[in-house]
Amino acid sequence: MTAIYLRSMIDFRSDTVTLPTPAMLAFMQEAPIGDDVFGEDPSINALEAKTAGLFGMEAGLFCPSGTMTNQLAIKTHTQAGDEVICEELSHIYQYEGGGIASNSGCSVKLLQGNRGRITAGQVLAAINPEDVHKPISKLVSLENTCNRGGGACYNFSEIEAIQKVAKSNGLGLHLDGARIFNAIVHKKEDPQQYGKVFDSISICLSKGLGAPVGSVLIGAAPFIKKARRWRKVFGGGMRQAGSLAAAGIYALDNHIDRLKEDHTKALEIKNALLKKDFVKEIFEVETNIVIAHIEGKYNAPELVKALKEKNILAIAMAPALIRFVLHLDITDDMLANTIATIDKL
Ligand SMILES: *Cc1c(COP(=O)(O)O)cnc(C)c1O
């Protein structure tokens, strides 16, 4: 098994690229398993209850991906012809293959936010009046941290204000919390705050938490019961998947506090980049994502190529934007090596 730990590249492309640690693998191998479609996988049941409990919500649903947990949430909150309100850069709109339309038959009202974050005032203005011409506004979906916003976090007071607007207008509130623990650690928040204001939360285990696969959707018990039915319809009813759930349990127990280290390392990458003439601007680094505006000696794809020649992988998100994502497989040595390489560019 050790061979899989021998990495030849320093991989900043995404926090999805982590491999299970030896301790996580050992925990996975010991996990009790059973047929989850019959509700008999002890590890999946434990993960679902644990995740829901952390946030003070009633029930959870383990899924193979964050796309599935988000899409199931949208499907369960809406009916065909309804409208979903979200920010224009949000993952549910940009990166889920048009699933809002094809899975749920819903239209989308896109808002232009600040690095992925929208305000209560924008949400209020986006809610359609009762009018036969208009789709029925049914759901508001927020993302925290905001991926395309460079890991930006909401201020919790704004989330509370959005919740008031959603609730008083009869709309549901969903959180795409792919990186919610990065936000919670950065802002020193309590997951229970989130459970109180959202009707549903999607949490990725396979991002910064370092599990190989999986996301959990949490919410009230009747909501999750409906979502469980849709998961089967979507083909997401897994059987003896408890070893994967065990990786999630291990990650929740061991990999939350350490996210701080990723945030500190992200700042070090930012500081190294800021010394370079070809770096015009860097989004404020709050969590584990660094997005830099590149111009001059390199454009973003050229910089990605130059780094790759030094065994460092990053992503060009646009001709002038490069992204580095920190995660638990980036060691101190890898960081030092990367900073030394950037210094010489
Ligand atoms: C990664 C991610 C997801 C889920 O992606 P999957 O690859 O389907 O697990 C959802 N939302 C955001 C913001 C993400 O970054």
Domains of the chain: 10-17+258-344 (3.90.1150.10), 31-254 (3.40.640.10)
- Assess contact for 188 and 161: CB atoms under 8 A: no
Is residue 335 over pLDDT 90? yes
pLDDT in the model for residue 3: 40
**Candidate from 207, 209, 287, 327 with most ligand 1 atoms within 8 A of CB, to mutate:** 207
Please tell me if the CB atom of residue 143 comes closer than 6 angstroms to any atom of ligand 1. yes
pLDDT at position 266, please?
A: 98
- 89 or 5: which carries more pLDDT confidence? 89
The model's pTM is: 0.96
**Relative to the CA of 176, which ligand 1 atom is closest?**
11
One-letter amino acid identity for 44?
Answer: I
Q: Does residue 141 line the site of ligand 1, with CB under 6 A?
A: no
pLDDT of residue 8: 81
C-alpha–C-alpha distance, residues 132 and 117, integer Å: 30
Is the confidence at residue 1, as pLDDT, over 80? no
What pLDDT does residue 317 have? 93
Q: Is the pLDDT of residue 4 over 60?
A: no
- 32 Cα: distance to centroid of ligand 1 (angstroms): 27
List the residue whose alpha carbon is closest to atom 2 of ligand 1: 178
Helical pair 180-187 and 259-274, crossing angle rounded to 10 deg:
80
Residue 18: is its pLDDT beyond 70? yes
Q: Are 153 and 145 in contact (CB under 8 A)?
A: yes
Task: Give the pLDDT confidence of 153-187 residue by residue, as tens digits.
Answer: 999 999 999 999 999 999 999 999 999 999 999 99
Q: Is the pLDDT of residue 283 over 60?
A: yes
